[in-house]
Amino acid sequence: MFLVLAEELHFGRTADRLYVSQSRVSQVIRLTETRVGGRLFERTSRRVRLTPLGAQLRDALAPPYEQIHQALAAATKISFEIIGELRISVLSFAAAGPAFAGIVRAFRARHRSCDVTVYEAFPGEVLQRLRHGELDMLAHWLPVDQPDLVVGPVLACAERALAVPVGDPLAERGWATVEDLADNAIVDADGIVPPETLAALYPSRTPSGRPIPRRFREGRMAEVLGLVARGEVVHPTVTSLSDYYTHPGVTTVPLRDLPPVKSALVWSGRHESPAIRGFAQLAQELATPAGS
């Protein structure tokens, strides 16, 4: 307050600048003068000016006061600076969506002091690793309704498909329905993905009420495609699967009676960081999924 008054030389403007009352400025200046043992300002009805003692105190206080502000500004910048490593996992690269690689490139170009690591998750452990801070972000199919997790920008909106063995009757027919799943089997993802996601990805019964058999625990996509190729299971997935994964013994056909599924970035609210917010912001700008 003393330094602002020394600059303004006006009690009213000082009060306005500091969002306090004029009487509060007068009180603080009187207390300061009492503390130093002398007058700091000469006051008349028309003007306010520094005394020699006031000028000496101003010259002594101004440099360290400015240093304090510079130190605070530097600390604030560091606290918001995006540095270190951002660890992103994808439930599958189809869930990451077509814009994901461009988002990663743009983030790396914008934040060169932050390394980005991307890899495919093992579904059964990925959410716990996110909660424990071992991962920073995850590309996950929706819905995800977990109180401690933040659902960010949508990455993909994909039509549904069924992965089947090459030469399978469904492949020959060229399409499938949920009713067809009861005549086959799908992977068992119970307890691996959240229940709300499981219900959207893998129906438990057909429209007619028949149970859909489950065999084998879900793993990474390469493992699931191996099961499909061997005729052990068929796999409800998305039409973009073949853009990211291929297997000579697997083909996909449209799964006609399931709605499109969306994916999004997910992270732990407890571990949110400037890097997470920066990547989510870029994803919001660059990911424009059709139908989202």
CATH class in words for 160-259? alpha beta
Q: Where are the alpha helices (DSSP H) in 99-240?
A: 100-110, 126-131, 169-173, 178-181, 195-201, 221-229
| pLDDT confidence of residue 46 | 85
Going from N- to C-terminal start, the domains of the chain cover 2-80, 84-156+265-286, 160-259
| pLDDT confidence of residue 133 | 92
100 exposure class (CB count in 10 Å sphere: 0-12, 13-18, 19+): buried
Which architecture characterizes domain 84-156+265-286 according to CATH?
3-Layer(aba) Sandwich (3.40)
Question: For 2-80, CATH number?
Answer: 1.10.10.10
Q: Which residue from 123, 155, 154, 150 is spatially nearest to 136, judged by alpha carbons?
A: 150
User: 160-259: same fold as 84-156+265-286?
Assistant: yes
Residues 140, 93: Cα–Cα separation, whole Å: 10
| pLDDT confidence of residue 78 | 55
- Are 256 and 124 in contact by the 8 Å Cβ rule? The answer is no
Q: For the whole model, what pTM was predicted?
A: 0.70
| pLDDT confidence of residue 38 | 94
Give 190's strand partners: 193
| pLDDT confidence of residue 80 | 55
| pLDDT confidence of residue 84 | 87
Residues 154, 266: Cα–Cα separation, whole Å: 10
| pLDDT confidence of residue 77 | 61
Residues 96, 155: Cα–Cα separation, whole Å: 6
Q: Which residue from 64, 31, 33, 66 is spatially nearest to 50, judged by alpha carbons?
A: 33
Encode the chain (292 residues) as per-residue pLDDT tens digits: 999 999 999 999 999 999 999 999 999 999 999 999 999 999 988 899 999 999 999 999 999 999 988 887 776 665 556 888 999 999 899 999 999 999 999 999 989 889 999 988 777 788 899 999 999 999 999 999 999 999 999 999 999 999 999 999 999 999 999 999 999 999 998 888 899 999 999 999 999 999 999 999 888 899 999 999 999 999 999 999 999 999 999 999 999 999 999 999 999 999 999 999 999 999 999 987 654 4
**The two three-digit tokens of residue 198, written as one number:** 């499981």
| pLDDT confidence of residue 290 | 54
